[in-house]
Amino acid sequence: MIDKRVMDILACPACKADVRQVAEEIICAKCGRRYPVRNGIPIMMTEEALQQNKKEE
């Protein structure tokens, strides 16, 4: 789990919206991109992100 202080300052690099952690991913509240968390480190690069399918909303 990522420290709350770190989560408070993270934002989606693609659209600058708030994010939340779900399991081993950081998920953007606006665009739905999912960023992986590897060894406790969020990988906040758009090249690493997965797009959310509309069916998952």
Domains and CATH numbers, the chain: 4-52 (2.20.25.10)
pLDDT score for 51: 83
Q: Rounded to the nearest 5°, which phi and psi values hold at 7? A: -60, -35
| pTM for the structure as a whole | 0.84
Neighbours of 31 (CB within 10 A): 14
* First vs last C-alpha separation in the chain: 23
Average pLDDT per consecutive 10 residues, the chain (57 residues; last block may be shorter):
94 97 96 95 94 55
pLDDT score for 55: 45
pLDDT score for 56: 44
